[in-house]
Amino acid sequence: MDGINLPKIQNADIFEDLCLYLYRRILNDDQAQKNGRRGQRQNGVDIFGIKDRTDGQPLQWTGIQCKVRDNSLSQLEIETEIEKANKFNPKLSEYIIVTTLDRDQNLQEIIRKLNAKNHASKSFPIVLHFWQDIEDEIKKQNNRDIHYRFFKDYFITSKEIGNTVGKLLNLYIGVYDKYDTQYNILVGKIIHKKEHGRQDTGIGYYTDLFFILNLNNGKFSKFKSPCHYSDFNGTFITARDGYIISSWLNSFKNLDKLIDCNNIYYSYSITPKALEIFLKEITDND
């Protein structure tokens, strides 16, 4: 991902959303939020949060100003925003200006001079983050979810490089909306790539198969879609559970979408009639 340049965001609202998600992570403050709404006086602050909340320590308030720009920021514009931010209540401990501009030496020099002035007057330090700084943060391993949310088309997944892809899920199952059993499972797919060779022999035989791992007991099954409850013999606590889970998997038209989507919490139940038919079938087979 490091070699891919992300396109600059041109929409101010979307850029502000990106900054909110990103600086919650940077500040280590999940409670960071946007400052009011458009049209209200914001005192030079679009987003505010507390840097590294620590019990018993003074709150270090950080104010963030988001600037979508095609051309350079002027010194007057920067000074105007800083003057507004001085009126923010409570007093800021740090002020960050985030812009879509490329890194610029002249702007960096302006910020250094303004920081010297603020230091002399015991005011807050000023930080200027350019688009390249934003890219560097987005591409960090712990920000992959943010990368995917805002730049899905520029996100390299294990599918693109030809490895196994999977997702952890929490699944509640039962009969007639009475959920009596919970499973923590891993559902995934073995991606085929040309190095695996033919899919009817050798290691290639196992590619493009789905798999499910019951994390409660460590039991594992591989299957094709649509699946059959017999694919999961011994994987789950009871044959009934295997049947319900096979029905749940078959309820998805495309299992790839189940693996790719953001949802990790699911519940699924069958009708008493479906359970009756299943029990009769396995009894007859015995």
**Cα→Cα distances 152→43, 148, 163, Å:** 33, 5, 19
Shared domain for 41 and 145, answered yes or no, is: yes
pTM recorded for the entire structure: 0.59
My answer on whether 150 and 239 are in the same domain is no
Beta bridge partners of 95: 63, 126
Exposure string of 118-135, with b = 16+ CB inside 10 Å and e = fewer, is beeeebbebebbbbeebb
* CATH code of the domain in which 44 resides: 3.40.1350.10
Residues 56-109 pLDDT 10s: 677 899 999 999 998 889 999 999 999 999 999 999 999 999 999 999 999 999
* Domain end (from 94, 120, 154): 154
Mean pLDDT for the stretch of residues 141-166: 73
pLDDT band at 210 (very low <50, low <70, confident <90, very high): very high
Is the pLDDT at 1 greater than 50, yes or no? Answer: no
Whole-number average pLDDT of the chain: 89
Q: Is residue 286 part of a domain?
A: no
**Residue 161 clears pLDDT 70, i.e. is over it:** no
Range of the domain at 172: 158-281
Q: Are 164 and 191 in contact (CB under 8 A)?
A: yes
Q: How many domains does the chain have?
A: 2
Task: Answer yes or no: is 7 within a domain.
Answer: no
Same-domain pairing of 150 and 163: no
Summarised one tens digit per residue, pLDDT across range 28-58 is 999 999 998 877 778 889 999 999 877 667 7
